[in-house]
Amino acid sequence: LKLNQFMSHDKLGLWQLGVTHVLNAAHGKLCCKGSDDFYGTTVKYCGVPANDLPTFDISPFFYPAAEFIHQALTSGGKVFVHCAVGVSRSAALVLAYLMIHHNLSLLSSARCVLQKRWIFPNRGFLRQLIALDRELQDARQNELK
């Protein structure tokens, strides 16, 4: 299964997979023009207008995207998370979700995702995920005190 922009345009294929939610990490970019209108009432849509550049700040989207994924999964849904190629922007958001909602470290999150598919977040996204990892670890340490 190719988790990229082309699969995101296959409404029948997504329906056959039981997808109820789509998180587009490349919203509005080139071929990734998903929207609520495109998917209709059967699929909830969330678009993140991220550029796959090391200088792009994707961190403001970590918590909203993680919440979208969490709400979908806890309501019994299936989430399709994609970007243009499926290895950097979407991967960064899935890693953030695992870190925020499953209390995994960045390393554990990456190992978890790499068991299923190849990912390669750009160096800027990795720096931002490392910062998130530190924040979450600090917050957990403070909770224990």
Q: Which of the residues are catalytic?
A: 83
Residue 87 has, within 13 A of its CA and on its CB side, a CA count of: 7
Phi, psi dihedrals of residue 122, rounded to the nearest 5°? -65, 165
Residues 6+ apart with CB under 8 A from 124: 53, 54, 55, 56, 58
C-alpha span between 145 and 131 (Å, rounded):
21
Q: Measured between alpha carbons, how far apart are the two ends of the chain, in Å?
A: 45
**Sequence letter at residue 27:** H
- Which helix (H) or strand (E) segment is 80 a member of? strand 79-82
